[in-house]
Structure 1
Amino acid sequence: MFATPAFRRTVLTTARFRTATNSKSTSNQTTATLYRPLLTPRFFTHTRKMGKEGVHNLQTKADWDSALEIKDTLVVLDCFATWCGPCKVIAPQVVKFSDNYPTARFYKLDVDEVPDVAQDLGIRAMPTFLLFKDGAKVAEVVGANPKALEAAIKAHVGEPAQ
């Protein structure tokens, strides 16, 4: 199996077979039912540092408001969904950009977890990258297009750090 041991433990402990006695029948027949898999909050609720500077997860509208208040810094917001294939494909590139452009701050926003922020920003497609400077939107890149995203970042930050 190619999954990590921690992932296997999670899968094995969240989806288990349960044998229950049918209380309505007089015989001791048992039926096997499958527990509904649990979504463990540890996968979605913490800010995880990825790369040198990091891509930070936004969990609430207050987190977004505090990120937007950063002055004289480019804020790159990756609006994604966990079920979105192109979002998963471009995620390593975003981490690479966070390493290459240390003067910019990178954030991820799960549109299903924080729908009020996604609605306020007018997100209609995933992935959508919004670039803000001094609290104002300066650029938008819709779709998993790393060249367009890097061009937008370069236009507002400059060349990448070596």
Structure 2
Amino acid sequence: MSAYTESAPSRTEVDALPGATVIEFGTNWCGFCSAAQPHIEQGLAAHPDLRHLKIEDGPGRPLGRSFRVKLWPTLIFMKDGAEVARVVRPSSAQPIRDAARQIDSTE
């Protein structure tokens, strides 16, 4: 399991990302985030080419605020810089699979 990174791209950089991207907001000390990791890994397993950014979130973090993230983990699924789907606190892999398929269906 990779850690959430403190360095975050700007919203302008995220909006300019080509192709499929999932941004996962959370923190390394968050129990909900740790509990969700197996579900996230399983849900994304069929999408190895999907760009997955794990960004540390919290007060004063502009990227998370720009997406109005309220709970962790929150996964934002994007296609060519536009939000296609969002999964908040997944308790199984299925909602992640469903969201990843939404990116695939926009091609």
TM above 0.5: yes
Highest relative contact order (Cα 8 Å, sep 6+), 1 or 2? 2
1:126 is aligned with what amino acid? W
Partner of 1:85: 31
Q: Tell me the TM-score normalized by structure 1.
A: 0.53
1:138 is aligned with what amino acid? V
The Cα shift of 1:98 comes to 4.5
Distance 1:148 1:106 in 2: 16
CA-to-aligned-CA distance 1:84-112 (integer Å, 9 cap, x gap):
21210122333444543123111111113
Partner of 2:96: 149
Q: CA RMSD in A?
A: 2.8
**Does residue 1:136 correspond to 2:85, yes or no?**
no
Partner of 2:9: 61
Does structure 1 retain, via aligned residues, the 8 Å contact 2:44–2:96? no
Partner of 1:70: 17
1:59 is aligned with what amino acid? S
Partner of 1:117: 63
Identity of aligned residues (%): 19
Larger radius of gyration: 1
Count matched residues: 104
Secondary structure at the aligned position of 1:153 is classed as helix
Q: Using a 3 Å threshold, how does the CA distance of structure 1 residues 80 and 56 change in structure 2: closer, same or farther?
A: closer
Secondary structure at the aligned position of 1:100 is classed as coil
Q: Using a 3 Å threshold, how does the CA distance of structure 1 residues 123 and 61 change in structure 2: closer, same or farther?
A: same
Does structure 1 retain, via aligned residues, the 8 Å contact 2:32–2:73? yes
CA-to-aligned-CA distance 1:8-63 (integer Å, 9 cap, x gap):
xxxxxxxxxxxxxxxxxxxxxxxxxxxxxxxxxxxxxxxxx95xxxx88461334x
Q: Tell me the TM-score normalized by structure 2.
A: 0.76
Q: Which runs of 4+ in 1 moved over 2 A?
A: 55-58, 64-70, 92-100
